[in-house]
Structures are given as C-alpha cells and as structure tokens.
Structure 1
Amino acid sequence: MRTTLSRAIAKRNGFVFVDWVAYARFLPNMAQFEFATATRIIFGSNTATELPKLIDSLQSKRPLVVTGKAARYATVLQHLQGPIIFEVHGEPSVETATRGLDRAKSNACDSVIAIGGGSAIDVGKLIAVLVTNGGEPLDYMEVVGRGQKITKPGLPFVAIPTTAGTGAEVTKNSVLSSPEHRVKASVRSPYMLPTAAIIDPLLTVSVPPNVTASTGLDAFTQCLEPFVSKLANPLTDAIAREGIRHGAQSLRRAFENGQDVDARQGMCLCSLMGGLALANSKLGAVHGFAGVLGGYCADAPHGAVCARLLPFVITSNVKALSARDPDSPLLAKYDEAARIITGDPFAKSHNAVTWIQQLCDVLNVPPLSTYGLKKEDVPIVVEKASKSSSMKGNSIVLTDDELTSILMQAL
C-alpha cells in the first residue's frame, strides 16, 4: 500500500504523531542541497529610483545599458553618468550577444545594467562575464557550442526586469537562439548571477495584455515545474508554493486590467520566485521542449509555447509516475499544486489541468501549429528535447513515445 502524507502525519486524541521514516519520503533531496541567487534583491514600487545610488556604490563610471528601448526607460536612466546604450530587439541570439560584447569592450565599460524583458537581461548577464572571461558566446554554450566553463567573475551586473516572466534577474544562465542550429541553448555559470536585482512592479503596468499573458504564463510554469522537479528541495518548494499561489491569483487580473498594481506585484513575485526556484532545482519537460521549439517556431512567444505544453506534460508525468513509480512523493505534490491553483482543498492533478486549459482559453493561447510546427518536425524535436538540460529535472524520465504524444496533442 502506498504511503500517503496523511498516513505519515496522524492526529489522535489531540496529539500529532509523525512517522518520520514515512514523512522523509515527502522531503526529496533533504540530505544535501545548495541555493544560490543574486547578491542583493530589491523589491517594491518605485525601487527603480535606487539605480543611480546602486551604481555609485559599485564605483562604476561607464556602465553598458542593455535594453529593449532606451527611450521608454529614460526616467530610470536619467541620473546615470556616462551610460553606453545597447538595444536588444526580439529574441536574443548569438549574433546579438556578440555585438553587445563588442560594444562593451570598445567603450571600456566597467559594469552592465540590463533593463527590460528576459531578452535584455539574458544578453546583459552574458556580456558581463564574457568581458572578463574572453571568447565568444559559442565557446560557452551548452548543446550546440563548445561548453567551456566560465572561470572568472564578470563585470558588476544589475538586472531590472520590466516584464513578469523569465525570472532572469535571479538565474545563473543566459538563453540564446542559434539560427544555424535551429535551437535555443544556455550559457550557465554561478558567475552569471546578478550583483543586484531591482524588481519594481510599476515598470510592468504598461505591458500590453498579449505580452502580460505570454510572460506571465512562463512565470507560472517556472514555479510549477521546479515544485514537481525530481531535484526539488525544501527551500525551493517553499518558494515555488508561494510563486504558484501568486501566479494563480494574479495572472488573469493583470491580463484583464494592466493598471491593477496589486496584480502586477503578484506577478512580479511569481516571476521572481520562479527564477529563484528554477535556478536551484531545474525545470522539466515543458522547458525541455520549449528551448528546442524556439528554433522551429521563431515567432512564437516562449510563454505561450510553455502554456500550450503544460497541461499535456502534467498529464503525461502523472500517468508515468503512477505506472512506473507509484510510491513517488511527487504524485502528492501534483495534487498539492492543484489545491493551490484551484483553491479547492480536495483538488487532484487533473483539476489543475482543467484550470490551466481554461486559463489558456481566456489568454488566447493557440496550438503550436499556429507558429508553423508540423507533424514531420515532431521526431527531430523529440530527439533534441530529450537531451536538453531542463529535461533532467522532469518528474520522471519520459519515453520517446510519451514525448511524441505530448507534442502531437499540443499541435
């Protein structure tokens, strides 16, 4: 008979009795874990005004500012001395990062500030370490690059997100597209963790509904996948739980009313917590697929791809766990996530799937075929996705047939 959490913790005659051997199964990786994040996190409305003081404390005289559109953030940047602007448009690529690196070097920049969405932040953190470590992006990229290790700290790096999505302000990797290889891949190192992250929810109120939806769905997924990752630990669980709750309560509200500051704050917390969790317990099959699909569906918003895949991945993982590892404590965590998401104390994983599908309908998430993915692409996508770094955190190793089924349903 499978041990359940209710059997591990029992209440009799007003006293709580714990079967610690049984309870330990619900604390995977308890024996040892690590947790790393940005050196400093500054959260709250109007905190972006602290940027000049922060840069002064870093003794930076010539920062490189990596941003999507500098004019939009003029009030944030106006008191900086000698900034060099580098604009990033669209998804970041190897070529984009290379151009930014050249700009930083040619102007002898002594720090990097990234203000914008995940694209600007990913490019900024990579430039910061490449200035001090030398080489080019492909020297350090996983999967498609040479996979060299970053061995030195980068320039001081400050991340200021203006969307609630990737959590890149507290992660240790940079995701770039390589059009040549038709895939997105990461450069990853503890040296890429930002020196400081400033999260100001007021910077997100002007984000349009479609971007709010896409980035928010990414943030929500990045809380849920680490929670049910086989590499989760008690600290990431605590953070992911709160992230899931904030995302479930805030995303639809932020989508329907961008001026709802409470909802924007909730989504900024969801994004931050997702970044904290994934950086320390990995993601899963959703992001294992999404990185590869970024090369096949160039115009597809990353969060929309994640959201389309998420219900089918949950269903497949729960089915596979039930069949091949029925005593896994992750099954109970899927049900717990469902209770957090739906607010129903009796919810099971399938209720979370229904809730997510209904949210995707409200947020206008289309099938993957909308972005040009074809049935004939599925085998090569499955092959590449099965080797991705994110897949290593998935709740259980899925077979090629199971991965194929997920992708076919998402088409």
Structure 2
Amino acid sequence: MTFDKVYQYNFPTIIRFGAGAIKELPAYLQQNGLKRPMIVTDPIIASLPFFKAIVNDLQANQLSVEVFSEIHKNPVKSDVYKGTEVWDNTSRDSIIGIGGGAALDVSRAIVLRVNHREDLFKYDDLIGGDVYVTNEVPHFIAVPTTAGTGSEVGRSAIIADDVTHQKKILFSPKLMAKIVFADPVLTMDLPPFITAATGMDALTHNLEAFLAKNPHPLCDGIALEGIYLIKDSIERATNYPDLESRSKMLMASMMGAIAFQKGLGVVHSLAHPLSSLLDTHHGLANAVNLPYGMEFNIVGFEDRFRRIARTLELKEETGAAVVRYLAELNSRVHIPQRLNEIGVKPEHIETLADLALADFAHPNNPKPVSREDFKQLYLKAL
C-alpha cells in the first residue's frame, strides 16, 4: 500500500482514505445537493490554518458554511444543546464533524438532536434509549484530525452530564456518517503529546476489544491487525512523523473503533472518571491506566495475551511481557507512568472508584471488576 494516494474502503461506512482526501469534500457536498453545511469542531482546531483552508475551499465553491466550536474537551450535554441552537438559527442542511473524539461526539449528538427533541439522555443506549431514535437525521460527514478515538466510523456519541459527570452513550445505526474523509495529512501537525495520547487511546481500543468477552471473530482479527500497525508506527508518528507512520496510525485508529463494537473493558472504566471528574484528556487517561488494567486481566486469559504478545513480536509470549511492553512504550512516547503525575490525589480515589463502577465499559471486560478492584487499581497506579 502506498500512502500518497486516496483509496476507498466500505467498512462499515464509505471511507475515503489517503493524502489529499479532504480536497474531495466540496465536490461531494455539491453532488449530494448540500449547500449549507454546519461544521462542528473544537476551539483549538477552529483556529488552525488547515481548518481555515478547508472552510475557504468550501466557500470558494459557493457553499455557505457555519462553524460551531463552543465545546469542551470532554463534551457535555450543554455543548450539544448550544450546537442545536446554531442549527436552528442558521438554516443548515448537513453536519460535518471535523476533529478528534470530542468534536465528532458532539457533531453526532447534534445530528441526533435535530429531529429528536426530548431530553438528550432519554436516548441513552444503556437504558434502551436507542428505540426512541425513530426520525430522520441530517446528512452527516466525518473528518478525523487525530488518530485515536476512531469516532469517525462509529454509531455512537459519548456525552457527559454537566452536573453528575456521568458519561452516557447515544447510539443508533442512523448516527453513522454517510462518508468519512480520512486524510492523514490533517494529522501531520499534531504535537507529540497529542499524537502519543491519542495513539495510546487507539491501542487501548484494539487491546480491550480483543479481550472483551463477547464472541466476535471478525473484530478479533481487526483488533490484532490494529495492534500490529500501532506497534509499527506510534513511536515514529510521535517523535519523527512522516506520511507512512501517520497513515498507519489513522488506519489503526479506525480499526480500533470498528473492533470495539465487541466491547471495551476495565481500562476505559478507569479512564472515563478521570476525564469527567478531573477533565483529563481521554487518551492520556487510558494510556496511564493501560498497563495496570491489562495486568489485572492476565490470569485466566493467558492464551489471549499470548496472541497479543505474538502480534507485538515480543520474545517472551506472556501477559507479563505485554504489560512490560506497554509501560516501556508509554515511556518512549513520553506518557507519565503514574496517576499522581496527571493531577490525581489520594482524596480523589473513593469518588473515582464510584464513577468507575457505574461506568458502561467494564461489563464487557473478560473478568468481573468490583468497586474494591477499581479502588486498588487506582491506588496501584497512583
């Protein structure tokens, strides 16, 4: 595979992948009779030259563009409501999510809310809310600018309650983007820290999907290849980025998101409370907790870890070797090893354990996780 061409994959949605893919966006909108797109992004991306170039290109093709960027780095319900007000007040005909997980989650939640106006969390998948997603939704296009969450190929949005900080999942097949423009060039200027944190997020997705208890051989194969691509490219993408390493990371990120329809696990349930309570970057929260969560899962699942070790091409094909590799990889991409290095204090532990137990991810972990398990994992990582 070369990395300077645009390819098309249809899995699960249409993916235009490769350097320069973003240049196809204006023609795609015109071909589909869409003239008034609303772009949802975050405030940092909205200020960057590449984003302004995208907007200028759309406007040069006689397209009316409205930008909404008032979102938190860990999105909350009020972000979605504000974005819906912009939609209502500016007569838009489509939504383009441009950014990382936060922007794509908010854009997808706005897609839902446009024609579903009851309380947003009525549609929470964990309480069966997907059955209420019955109306049509606007034309939705996803453009990832990080290689981490893989939200561009997903069917769900994770949005937190402004007050309780508990994360909710909004899910429906209707929320899948009609098309994804995955252009690795848009990730080239990411700073090393964001590259590392989002890359470790993608690795966590692939690892937890492979270990998740629900049987899904298709996702297992995708997850293992995603693990291999990240092993092969994350250090270069972080420290000496080039088009090949960025392309492999972007592909592996999408693969992780496809694979985790099988489920996630203990690491995400450790990480989510850090984001909602302390506003920790999600990828960083996953990365720091990853070795500890993986170590918790080894006993009883040695064969699964043997296959992971083989994929990582480790000399010793054991779970312990996988955990050592993950800790060393964090160091090589300059991720902290301990929670106390990212603002977690002993007085946070009890609240974090409560939030982790209430989280949606760990029921799919290969082994059960109790509140005491969460508390001890946090203390070990502290």
TM-score when normalising by structure 2: 0.89
**Paired amino acid for 1:276:** I
The aligned residue for residue 61 of structure 1 is 35
The aligned residue for residue 162 of structure 2 is 179
Distance 1:396 1:121 in 2: 31
Matched, 1:70 2:41: no
Please give the residue correspondences for 1:231-310 in structure 2 after superposition, counting only pairs within 5 Å. 231-258=214-241, 260-278=242-260, 280-298=261-279, 300-310=280-290
Please give the residue correspondences for 1:76-225 in structure 2 after superposition, counting only pairs within 5 Å. 76-80=54-58, 81-89=63-71, 90-141=73-124, 149-225=132-208
- Aligned CA RMSD, in angstroms, stands at 2.2
Alpha-carbon distance, 1:71 to partner: 4.8
Q: Report Cα offsets for 1:312-345 as digits up to 9, x if no partner.
A: 11111113x2xxxxxxxx431211111212x136
The aligned residue for residue 24 of structure 2 is 50
Alpha-carbon distance, 1:91 to partner: 2.6
Please give the residue correspondences for 1:12-31 in structure 2 after superposition, counting only pairs within 5 Å. none
**Alpha carbons 1:220, 1:247 under 8 Å: kept:** yes
User: Greater CA radius of gyration, 1 or 2?
Assistant: 1
Alpha-carbon distance, 1:123 to partner: 0.8
Alpha-carbon distance, 1:380 to partner: 3.2
**Paired amino acid for 2:65:** P
The aligned residue for residue 344 of structure 1 is 314
The aligned residue for residue 384 of structure 1 is 355
Alpha-carbon distance, 1:363 to partner: 2.4
For residues 381 and 143 of structure 1, do their structure 2 counterparts lie closer, same or farther at Cα, with a shift above 3 Å needed?
Answer: farther
Matched, 1:365 2:335: yes
For residues 255 and 232 of structure 1, do their structure 2 counterparts lie closer, same or farther at Cα, with a shift above 3 Å needed?
Answer: farther
**Alpha carbons 1:144, 1:181 under 8 Å: kept:** no
Distance 1:120 1:399 in 2: 32
**Alpha carbons 1:177, 1:185 under 8 Å: kept:** yes
Matched, 1:39 2:19: no
**Paired amino acid for 1:365:** I
Distance 1:41 1:228 in 2: 26
Alpha-carbon distance, 1:60 to partner: 1.3
Give me the identity figure in percent.
29
**Alpha carbons 1:58, 1:156 under 8 Å: kept:** no
**Paired amino acid for 1:70:** A
Matched residue SS, 2:167? strand
For residues 141 and 393 of structure 1, do their structure 2 counterparts lie closer, same or farther at Cα, with a shift above 3 Å needed?
Answer: same
**Paired amino acid for 1:63:** P
Alpha-carbon distance, 1:146 to partner: 8.0
**Alpha carbons 1:212, 1:255 under 8 Å: kept:** yes
**Paired amino acid for 1:74:** K
In the alignment of these two chains, the number of paired residues is: 363
Distance 1:37 1:193 in 2: 11
Matched residue SS, 1:124? helix
**Alpha carbons 2:158, 2:170 under 8 Å: kept:** yes
The aligned residue for residue 30 of structure 1 is none
**Alpha carbons 2:267, 2:294 under 8 Å: kept:** no
**Alpha carbons 1:378, 1:407 under 8 Å: kept:** yes
Alpha-carbon distance, 1:402 to partner: 2.4
Distance 1:186 1:158 in 2: 20
Where structure 2 has 5 or more consecutive residues not aligned to the other structure, the ranges are: 1-9
Distance 1:295 1:358 in 2: 27
Distance 1:316 1:399 in 2: 12
Distance 1:223 1:317 in 2: 15
Distance 2:166 2:358 in 1: 12
Distance 1:297 1:268 in 2: 27
